[in-house]
Structure 1
Amino acid sequence: MNRKVLLLMAASQAALFGGTGAASAQTTPVAAQTTPANATDTQSSSELPDIVVTAQRQSETLQRAAASVSVRSGSDLLAAGKFALSAILEDVPGVSGGAAATPTGMAGSSSGNDSPAAGLTIRGIPSNSGVGGSATSIATSAAIYVDGIYNGVGSSYDIDRVEILRGPQGTLYGRSATTGVVVIKTRDPALGIVEGNIAAEAGNYDLEHYYGAVNVPLVSDVIALRVSGNYYSRDGYDTHDVDKGELGYRGGAMRSTDFRAKMLIAPTSTFSVLLGVAGQNNKIYSSGNSMNLQADGTYDKLYGDVGPGTNKFRQYWAEFNLDLGGANLVYIPAFRTWTSSALNYGRVPAIGLAVDQDISTPKDEFMTHELRLASQQGGKLKWQIGALYYQNDLRSIVKATDGYSGALLYNSDVAKKTTAAGVFGEATYALADTTRLNAGLRYDYTKVAVDQTYTANLNLCCGGPLGSTTYGYPEILQTQTLSGQEGKRTYRNVTYKVRLEHDLSPETSSMR
């Protein structure tokens, strides 16, 4: 094993969600991306193949990567039955959460979240959560990239590999990678072969899970198509037999349907195009219960209404790869949308609090363009330069009412547009076979424009009177707005790094 200043360890895989039984069938399982440990055609049975990682946007072995990296192969994840990002990351040191179904700090909510990194915590630093129940577009402390796309769709099935980098990665990934980054590569179409995978699972709480993928060549050695899908449904963990609905009577029930299609077109050995479309439909029910403190110091569970919520992702993207001889050019344009509608019920009978939240996101559109130029493998100098453009156009509405009287508590209507652009570069020079100098620099410019109308009922908050007839009535409404220059902010960030790498011993692969 190559011993470095930073020792990397990959934890063993753990078990799946919590179902009581599973059955699966599969063909041509995914293999971990590896390269021979030496140049010979045969390898000793005591040697391990080198794991190749690309999270730092260059191919390198895991032993030579001077970063805290953990890797999970798609074949291992499939064998363990892990189809949720939170399960994929559960045994990664220093990492928890991921792909939160509900916003951070809103346990039991049915609103979902437009960012798969909303529940991702690396090295104990969580992301911010939206104010007043908002479930949209909050800058995260850690970033998730799926197939090269920031906050991409489809991170939990038909995976080739997952790479997790702990620690700041701002030079290559920007300000949303302050604590680290999770890079997920799903399986690309393979030219000239027919293959596929299928899996089925059943468990307690009416768990049903089905997964499948198929790869077919359309034009021999030129065009191939890969289609995959994932369906997951379970009842909630709250066993109260009230409000039986489409997904059962238990609060916290959920259903998710995913699909993805990728087409690879490779007309020459130096040029290829990957076209993709992906989607996800989610239905979530709030928990519908609360705890009430009794006089003897014990708690009773109180059951309330279960609020339904739905949200939907759609994503369209392409990846263009061009071999220029001495360098590779990659261009990735992507467009993603998210819409949602949810109703949450909050009940704390001990203090007479009842708040009903109607949360909707009629518009949430993301557009990204990323261009990268990188040197070919070999030689003492490895370098890469690139540029990123990001735009988000959002409309979010949160309306809260008193659950007893129906009076308005507050109403927030927000339109927000975020535009960002960044340029970056990084280079590594081999001073010797075992010593390398690495340096990187990035500049980001971000502009945020917010138009918000906020209406509050002073008879329910803010120290106003508590209503002489019915709580919340008469409604005493006050409205404030934020727009124009008052709602605009700009941010300029410069990120840099300088690192000296040295191998303390020759590279070997003799450890088991």
Structure 2
Amino acid sequence: MNRKAKLYLTVVSTMILSLMSAPALAQDPAAADSSESGESVTPNSHELSEIIVSATRRASSLQDTPVAVSAVNRELIESAAPQDLGDLAKFTPNFSAAEIPGYNAASFAMRGTGQTNIIVYFEAPVAVLVDDFVVPSIQTQLLDTFDIEQIEVLRGPQGTLFGKNTTGGAVTVRTKRPELGQFGGEAQVRYGSFDTIDLNGAFNVPLLGDTLALRLVASYAKSDGHMRNGFSYGPITGFGPNPWNGLEGEGDGRRVGGKDVLNGRAKLLWEPNDDLSALLQYEVLRDRSEGPASVHNTPLGSTFLFARLGLSQEIDGDPLDFGGVSDRDGYLVDADDGHRINVDGYYLNVDYRTGAGTISSITGYRDQYSRLANSANSVSPMSAGGQILSLFDLNRTDRHKTFQQEVRYASELDGPLNFVTGAFYARDTIRFCVAQLLGFQDLAGGSTPFGPWNENPFVLCNRQKGDVKALFAEANWDLTDRLHLTAGGRYTWEKKDWQGRQQIFVQNLLGTPDPTFTWRDIDNLLDMADFEQYPAGVVEAQRKWSEPTWRVSLGYDITPDIFTYASYSRGFKSGGFNDQIGTFAPFGTNLDAFAAAAQPTDPEIADSFELGLKSQFLDNRVRFNLTGFYVDYTDVQKQLNVPLDVNGQQFQVTRFVNAAKMTVKGIEAELTGRLAPGLTLSGVLGYQDGSYDTYEAPLQTGYDLATAPLERTPKWQWTANANYETEVAQAALVTANASVSYTGRNLYNLSVVSPDRNTYLDARTVVNATLTLSDLDKNRYVRLIGRNLTDKRYLVASQIVGNLWTTDRYAAPRSWSVEFGARF
């Protein structure tokens, strides 16, 4: 444990012990256990409480909202004890969470569309909003859940009220707000398998009576990682003389892929009267985690280049023992430093209530610096003659600055008509560079003008500025007491300016080859994206788009407890540039050809049709919601890793194109029942069936891609969850929670070479459970947490890289942890 973790553990543990030994403040138990936004009820109550959501940008009951939306409240978050936002996906039908190979980045998917790449300009089809601010980078979307009050998952296109890029859906997160006039706090300490430490603390301080309050929140997570550095290789059979021929060995077996993340928020809430509310927030994140470890899984004896070079391994035993990471230092890669992510965010949310409605302003600025170094092919360090070989080590570094401003008005009229209208503006600036050490080219008999590939980083840089403007409005009209019409539209104007340079050796950065100018002359990798200082070979591209989107629905109250609706909505995902264009592409000095290849994709369009039923019965003890949907996607954006041979050298080119038209249909069901005091049973079921209508891919060298399955689209998903709470001797509460979740087999990475080379995430069933002992007010507790109790080995990412290699990333095995918590 490092010194920072020990200090934080000492402080938080002391605070918890003092809280546990102190008498609880006087408090109404029912008030402490109730919430307007979840299933929170007292143990002896039969009824489910009402769920309030903001899916229509105004507070409404879940059961009366004509949108496919699921809500996860604070009570479920506490009882299920998720590690991050991705762990909560199982509680929403047809919403799956995986990860990006080599990165701690979210791979969210919904209704046939999802994210499987780390490209910084790729617009994710499932948006994540925190307190109404759109989180622009998937690298930081796997949020810590400590300070979250409620999560809403909106399925399907949300082009009217939530903007562009929500062709799959949107995840809206509401964090806890400061409490006026209340001094209090909460703290958690969790320790478990793999030397995992999670420390969380929050303090609420009233500053000015009942008008001003401050909430300070901090979280720290540390882990040794669940993988081991055990890649075994060799003997190496290079294509030409080199010092590594005949080399064989294995990694040192240490744990790798560990976490080291500190994040926090400072929140200042000002409510001088009943009409005005202003929340000012500062967000900070400092991630110093190791690069995630994956398993190099190139088939033995295959035609992949790495297999031909003797760089595939035979996994004999637990795959978690065969991970690989690189410790290569220097060369602009610094793989031994792992990941370095800094986030600073500033947000201001203001609500002003008038007699006829509420005016809301959401202003935010977020600065994210990411330096993501790893071994792309999951190979442990190897050395010969005092030299370290980097087969394919890389460092992706970017600086992402985002400003967003939204102003909206939500009416509160007495008549049958109400509406929401507003405007949105966002500005993004991104600088990006990737440096790569391609030592495998030395084994394959390649050479560079400046010496071995293993000692000369290949660098690609580009940058982008983007502006988005939008106007939107949506109206709700009660045609009769039972019949309700919702209609709205949004118009979005977007402009993106891109500049980039092909991948080059550092010695060529000045425009003419200079062997004396090397990577040692570069202070920071992003300096090479300063195109004013280094203008040689830079091309520019610009594109503007304007897109209308809309939604219309008709709802009908069959009875006071049964609501049904039909809707049609359109959403779009923005066109975009490829941060990898120019990587290994044979454009040479032909800048016109490079500029043509650098042109962006067009927007992707989703037209969605839904039929929904929302019901509650047995005196509000059972809630059942059912949705059927059909989505037609056109101009679908796809990333293709295409093998490429340049002058006898093995490369790949990453293409980002509008390749397909596809349709997805399915059903989504949610059931919650409280059939006995203290016992809540719930379940979700998702079914989706998708296929390509057409698939036209440039540089296609393999099979008819229109016959391939859709990526990240499991046919079946379901979760069953049980929560039981009971008093013990009128002095304590015991709460037991258990969940079983299933996700069907689904394609992760599509090969353009052959269907035999597609990579899949296998079907899996995962069992988690928690057992909590607390006082009657839930102010002090101890919780035992078990994850993956059947010790299932399953993939969360699996990638093929052209005709070079494949790599797999596995979830954690069975693990245990114990958590102590207190609040006052």
- TM-score by length of structure 1 reads 0.78
Summarize the alignment of residues 431-470 of structure 1 with structure 2, pairs less than 5 Å apart. 431-456=479-504
Within the alignment, does 1:162 sit opposite 2:199 as a pair? no
In 2, Cα distance between equivalents of 1:155 and 1:440: 34
1:420 aligned residue: 468
Distance 1:482-1:282 versus aligned 2 partners, 3 A rule: same
Task: Tell me which amino acid in the other structure corresponds to 1:299.
Answer: E
1:208 aligned residue: 197
Partner of 2:124: helix, strand, or coil?
Answer: coil
Q: Which moved more, 1:301-310 or 1:267-276?
A: 301-310
In 1, Cα distance between equivalents of 2:47 and 2:132: 32
Q: Which moved more, 1:120-129 or 1:176-185?
A: 120-129
1:355 aligned residue: 392
In 1, Cα distance between equivalents of 2:434 and 2:554: 50
Task: Tell me which amino acid in the other structure corresponds to 1:95.
Answer: F
Q: Deviations over 1:207-234 (max 9, x none)?
A: 1111121211111111011111111121
2:410 aligned residue: 374
Distance 1:505-1:94 versus aligned 2 partners, 3 A rule: same
Contact map agreement 1:255 1:283 (CA 8 A) in 2: yes
Summarize the alignment of residues 303-322 of structure 1 with structure 2, pairs less than 5 Å apart. 303-306=324-327, 307=335, 308-322=338-352
1:488 aligned residue: 542
In 1, Cα distance between equivalents of 2:357 and 2:324: 62
Distance 1:432-1:281 versus aligned 2 partners, 3 A rule: same
Partner of 1:89: helix, strand, or coil?
Answer: helix
- Structure possessing the higher radius of gyration over alpha carbons: 2
Partner of 1:173: helix, strand, or coil?
Answer: coil
In 2, Cα distance between equivalents of 1:49 and 1:291: 49
How many residue pairs were aligned? 436
In 2, Cα distance between equivalents of 1:371 and 1:250: 49
Q: Deviations over 1:1-40 (max 9, x none)?
A: xxxxxxxxxxxxxxxxxxxxxx99898967532499xxxx
Task: Tell me which amino acid in the other structure corresponds to 2:57.
Answer: R
Quick one: which of 268, 274, 284 aligns to 1:269? 274
Summarize the alignment of residues 84-123 of structure 1 with structure 2, pairs less than 5 Å apart. 84-97=84-97, 104=100, 107-109=101-103, 118-123=106-111
Task: Tell me which amino acid in the other structure corresponds to 2:131.
Answer: D
Contact map agreement 1:272 1:322 (CA 8 A) in 2: yes
Stretches of structure 1 that go unaligned for 5 or more consecutive residues are 1-22, 37-43, 243-247, 458-478
In 2, Cα distance between equivalents of 1:388 and 1:54: 18
Distance 1:205-1:377 versus aligned 2 partners, 3 A rule: farther
Distance 1:257-1:500 versus aligned 2 partners, 3 A rule: same
1:476 aligned residue: none
1:299 aligned residue: 314
Distance 1:373-1:255 versus aligned 2 partners, 3 A rule: same
2:373 aligned residue: 343
Deviation at 1:284, TM superposition (A): 2.7
Contact map agreement 1:251 1:288 (CA 8 A) in 2: no
Within the alignment, does 1:32 sit opposite 2:62 as a pair? no
Partner of 2:225: helix, strand, or coil?
Answer: coil
In 1, Cα distance between equivalents of 2:286 and 2:218: 12
Distance 1:401-1:239 versus aligned 2 partners, 3 A rule: closer
Task: Tell me which amino acid in the other structure corresponds to 1:397.
Answer: C
In 2, Cα distance between equivalents of 1:259 and 1:413: 32
Task: Tell me which amino acid in the other structure corresponds to 1:268.
Answer: N
In 2, Cα distance between equivalents of 1:259 and 1:432: 48
Summarize the alignment of residues 400-415 of structure 1 with structure 2, pairs less than 5 Å apart. 400-403=436-439, 405=452, 406=454, 408=456, 410-415=458-463
Contact map agreement 2:421 2:473 (CA 8 A) in 1: yes
Task: Tell me which amino acid in the other structure corresponds to 1:187.
Answer: K
Q: Deviations over 1:370-428 (max 9, x none)?
A: 00101126531120101110011111111112235325474211111011011100001
Deviation at 1:450, TM superposition (A): 0.6
Contact map agreement 1:32 1:160 (CA 8 A) in 2: no
Summarize the alignment of residues 123-202 of structure 1 with structure 2, pairs less than 5 Å apart. 123-127=111-115, 129-130=117-118, 134=119, 136-151=120-135, 156-202=145-191
Q: Which has the higher helix share?
A: 2
In 2, Cα distance between equivalents of 1:160 and 1:426: 26
Contact map agreement 2:70 2:153 (CA 8 A) in 1: yes
Stretches of structure 2 that go unaligned for 5 or more consecutive residues are 1-12, 232-252, 303-311, 316-321, 328-334, 380-388, 443-451, 506-535, 562-615, 623-673, 675-824
Distance 1:137-1:78 versus aligned 2 partners, 3 A rule: farther
In 1, Cα distance between equivalents of 2:83 and 2:340: 20
In 1, Cα distance between equivalents of 2:471 and 2:376: 45
Q: What's the Cα RMSD here? A: 3.0
